[in-house]
Chain A
Amino acid sequence: MKLSSHVPSGPLEQKWDRHCFELPLINPANKRKYQIIVVGTGLAGASASASLAELGYQVKTFCIQDSPRRAHSIAAQGGINAAKNYPGDGDSVRRLFYDTVKGGDFRSREANVYRLAQISGQIIDQCVAQGVPFAREYGGLLANRSFGGAQVSRTFYARGQTGQQLLIGAYSALMRQVDKGGVKLFPRHEMMDLVVSEGQAVGITTRHLLTGEVKSHFAHAVILATGGYGNIFYLSTNAIHSNVSASWRCHKKGAFFANPCFTQIHPTCIPRSGNYQSKLTLLSESLRNDGRVWVPKKAKDSRLPKDIPEEQRDYYLERIYPGFGNLVPRDLASRQAKFQVDAGLGVGSTGEAVYLDFTEAMNRLGKKSLSEKYGNLFQMYEKITGENPYKTPMRIYPAVHYTMGGLWVDYNLESTVKGLFILGEANFSDHGANRLGASALMQGLADGYFIIPSTITSHLAGCLPVSEEKKHISLRESEKESEERLQNIMQIKGSKTAGDFHRRLGNIMWNQVGMIRNKTGLEKAIEEIQNLREEFWKELYIPGEQSNKNAELEKAMRIADFLELGELMAQDALEREESCGSHFREEYQSAEQEAIRDDENFCHVSIWENKQNEKTWNLHKENLDFKEVPLSVRSYK
């Protein structure tokens, strides 16, 4: 199979406009003849559903939660980027593009990133018009702040709840279409399978999470906006129900998976406190604007932070990266924290943490202004740890947060299965090997509000009518297949819980496929995951019945897919013999522990094709061409 990214020709600045002009149009009266399925109601899915219904398509929207408003996007805190240049500090579309390509360590597609930067401003317009209450200056204009890795202030925010406010905006636009009859909602439905007929996506099969009913749904196009797969690590900042299953089912039906090993580990999370821990909580990295990161200079220093004098503290980010200081990109900040902890310099009861200190900011800004900026984050920290960050430095440690990898898409956001489009965190598209802060919300909304409503016609205008009979057969087959999968897993009747397998898989992933990787570890991980998978299919126990609310069954189905993805992630990391962005291979580093990228051999997207009915993969490569941002060593020193 020959992969084409379908990037339009012509100068970078004109590609998107030109493409929009060349895309086929569908007559307004004909639009309602097309049914479109959208899976997911996060920023990407909700905005796509609303926008497509506004255009006149018949949309069916599915999500796991009881209400579309509860999708994982709700938890995003820090903000959303846009190249508005309101502060007049030199920002532009080109600079946002440049920063994103460089931040992604030259592993993303230039044309996609440029389009994202171009669209970013419109997103803010749209959200403001919907009534999203962004932070404002006293003069009534929108406020901006700078965010990890950026030297300009281009991040729009709504206190520490930006994701919530943007999602409420998209959700309300969605509900407006539900009221108008353009969208039919299916909450508490989990996608079990993609229905493919003659190489074309024609629907999905779902399980109703309260009744267990397995049912397939027809559509002329399927849009997947089901988020990232960070929960494979067991502990992550993702919501508990975030999963890879929707993507993985599509992968099994022919959608190729790109760069699965690119996982972002976020530097500012609350460290875990014990084995019972079910998830980790992120603290927005906007905190790094005013907080200073440090560890004691002496290993195993057990003094309270206030008793450690200035000269015995190592503000290591400021020391190593004088230009960017505490604002270096996430991968660098995370890795450096791990180096400190590995050197025995970690703090707190587990020794797996570093300090984030606000003393200097308190003196400079005062408590009031600090609490205006970070009040809710400080409160959140205090609720979880019982400690007051106004008085004592926070303890932070990196945690899995975001997955840059995902299903491969072309410029139209279409996967390798015709008629299957992937939006938001679920696709691999724009962030390369590392995502900049406040860019996921931007990408999700760009995909949903502005890209898919235009590009979907590339498929719809040419899609072949599916005969009623064929349609019927493939939908029924998919139902049958899903029911069999459910029966198989219910029938194992072993003695170990799904949670037990998840924790063990998480350990393997975190230790061997986490922040720092090497060949031996990755090979070992592959073997361990294969063994764990075998054990899972022999020893798992699920209580209750299929026909009820059954949280254990839901969990087990998701873990079954994670157990396959884990192997692919390790294989991808093994195959990529370089260090770039979030992917750090111990073998490829300089004497100063900086990543060494290999552009000669690895300047490509690794795209994995699942061999039919086998647990092995074929590797395809999409070569990346950097014409506008010359390949350079990413240096923040």
Chain B
Amino acid sequence: MRLKLNIWRQKKDEKKGCFESYEIANLSPDMSFLELLDQLNEQLVQQKKTPVAFDHDCREGICGSCSLVINGNPHGPHKGSAACQLHLRSFKDQEEIWVEPFRATAFPVIQDLIVNREALDRIIQVGGYVSVNTGSAPEAHSTPVEKAKADEAFSNAACIGCGACVAVCKNASASLFVAAKLSHLALLPQGQAERKNRTLKMVKQMEREGFGSCTNTGACSRACPKEISIHSIARMNREYFKSLLS
């Protein structure tokens, strides 16, 4: 098959970029979307041109590195997958495709399709953990955890920290990311001691980083490669108000 790609190109240290078009032929429908970019880059290198810079590593939807907006959708057209899990069989022959970086005030573009997402690490840094020094843990079976709660905690802990929720949100809010971490720990007995403080600190840091506020459109949850539920945001809001009041 054959595709026409319009890819966002932006030089390092420059404020502006633009789309550039590339035609690419002899593609197999079984090829992954990132392999398509590999092939394009290999061609560009052979023509002594600068290849397209993009973040990637695991290529199986778990590391959260890849961060492409494909035809207006973060991670592309499918629910519950990351861009690296997208295959060309999802496109029509001769289709025109638009590829951009994840965009948000808090995610400045570094070069081409690479953005800076360190803000997400800084949110975790202020409280996204249970404070337990190595070696001080009690025997694992001393605290049973209701299976349903453990499963729900897992569903929230499944967040890969990619930032698709931010990229898709019209307010560039990081609410789903923060809510997932707060939910994961609030649902488990281990997370109780620091519950209030954690909520206050992480929410405050989210605001400080310049993420917008949530207006409940649910777009984040639909774009999330791990399909984290919008209910988590409601939980975060409850947690936040409870923490403020107590």
Which residues of A come within 8 Å of B, CB atoms?
A: 47, 50-51, 54, 65-72, 74-75, 84, 86, 121-122, 124-142, 158-159, 161, 164-165, 168, 171-173, 175-176, 178-179, 185, 187, 210, 239-241, 273-274, 276-279, 281, 379-380, 383-384, 386, 449-450, 453, 497, 499, 541, 543-544, 548-549, 551-552
Q: Which of A69, A125, A134 contacts B64 (CB 8 A)?
A: A69
Q: Indicate if the CB atoms of B144 and A140 lie closer than 8 Å.
A: yes
Q: Indicate if the CB atoms of A74 and B132 lie closer than 8 Å.
A: no
Residue B209 is within 8 A (CB to CB) of chain A in the complex: no
Query: Contacts A69-B161, A278-B35, A499-B42: A133 and B120 contacting too (C-beta < 8 A)?
Result: no
Can you list 19 A-B contacts with CB-CB less than 8 angstroms, sorted by A residue number? A51-B133, A54-B133, A66-B65, A67-B64, A67-B118, A69-B121, A70-B57, A127-B140, A128-B140, A128-B143, A130-B130, A130-B132, A131-B130, A133-B157, A240-B56, A273-B28, A278-B59, A384-B85, A449-B135
A379 and B46 alpha carbons, distance in the complex (Å): 37
Q: Which of A75, A135, A158, A384 contacts B87 (CB 8 A)?
A: A384
A23 and B188 alpha carbons, distance in the complex (Å): 37
Shortest distance between the CB of B38 and any CB in chain A (Å): 6
A142 neighbours in B (Cβ, 8 Å)? 140-141
Shortest distance between the CB of A284 and any CB in chain B (Å): 12
Q: Indicate if the CB atoms of A125 and B137 lie closer than 8 Å.
A: yes
Q: Which of B120, B125, B147, B154 contacts A137 (CB 8 A)?
A: B147
Shortest distance between the CB of A71 and any CB in chain B (Å): 8
In the complex, which of the residues B41, B50, B110, B137 has the most CB atoms of chain A within 10 Å of its own CB atom?
A: B137
Q: Which of B31, B51, B129 contacts A130 (CB 8 A)?
A: B129
Q: Indicate if the CB atoms of B38 and A499 lie closer than 8 Å.
A: yes
Q: Which of B105-150 contact A (CB under 8 A)?
A: 110-111, 114, 116-118, 120-121, 124-126, 128-141, 143-147, 150
Q: Indicate if the CB atoms of B141 and A75 lie closer than 8 Å.
A: no
Q: Which of B147-197 contact A (CB under 8 A)?
A: 147, 150-151, 153-154, 157-158, 160-161, 184-185, 188, 190-191
**From A272, which residue of chain B is reached at the shortest CB distance?**
B30
Q: Which of A71, A135, A173 contacts B129 (CB 8 A)?
A: A173
A543 and B56 alpha carbons, distance in the complex (Å): 20
A176 neighbours in B (Cβ, 8 Å)? 125, 129, 131
Shortest distance between the CB of A21 and any CB in chain B (Å): 15
Q: Indicate if the CB atoms of B124 and A140 lie closer than 8 Å.
A: no
A158 neighbours in B (Cβ, 8 Å)? 154, 157
A551 neighbours in B (Cβ, 8 Å)? 41, 51, 53
Q: Indicate if the CB atoms of A128 and B31 lie closer than 8 Å.
A: no
Shortest distance between the CB of B122 and any CB in chain A (Å): 9
A171 and B128 alpha carbons, distance in the complex (Å): 10
Residue B245 is within 8 A (CB to CB) of chain A in the complex: no
Q: Indicate if the CB atoms of A276 and B131 lie closer than 8 Å.
A: no
Q: Is the interface of B mostly helix, strand, loop or mixed?
A: loop
Q: Which of B44, B125, B144, B154 contacts A179 (CB 8 A)?
A: B125
Q: Indicate if the CB atoms of A276 and B31 lie closer than 8 Å.
A: yes
Q: Which of B50, B132, B134, B150 contacts A450 (CB 8 A)?
A: B134
Q: Which of B38, B121, B138 contacts A175 (CB 8 A)?
A: B121
A9 and B75 alpha carbons, distance in the complex (Å): 56
A422 and B124 alpha carbons, distance in the complex (Å): 28
A278 and B56 alpha carbons, distance in the complex (Å): 12
Residue B234 is within 8 A (CB to CB) of chain A in the complex: no
In the complex, which of the residues A50, A137, A240 has the most CB atoms of chain B within 10 Å of its own CB atom?
A: A240
Query: Contacts A543-B48, A549-B114: A159 and B154 contacting too (C-beta < 8 A)?
Result: yes
Residue B63 is within 8 A (CB to CB) of chain A in the complex: yes
A508 and B82 alpha carbons, distance in the complex (Å): 32
Residue B16 is within 8 A (CB to CB) of chain A in the complex: no
In the complex, which of the residues A168, A380, A449 has the most CB atoms of chain B within 10 Å of its own CB atom?
A: A168
Residue B32 is within 8 A (CB to CB) of chain A in the complex: yes
Residue B55 is within 8 A (CB to CB) of chain A in the complex: yes
Residue B62 is within 8 A (CB to CB) of chain A in the complex: yes
A70 neighbours in B (Cβ, 8 Å)? 57-58, 63-65, 161
Shortest distance between the CB of B220 and any CB in chain A (Å): 19
B44 neighbours in A (Cβ, 8 Å)? 543
Residue B34 is within 8 A (CB to CB) of chain A in the complex: yes
A210 neighbours in B (Cβ, 8 Å)? 12, 110-111
Residue B199 is within 8 A (CB to CB) of chain A in the complex: no
Residue B71 is within 8 A (CB to CB) of chain A in the complex: no
A65 neighbours in B (Cβ, 8 Å)? 57, 63, 65
Q: Indicate if the CB atoms of B161 and A67 lie closer than 8 Å.
A: yes
Q: Which of A71, A131, A276, A379 contacts B185 (CB 8 A)?
A: A131
Shortest distance between the CB of A548 and any CB in chain B (Å): 6
Shortest distance between the CB of B169 and any CB in chain A (Å): 20
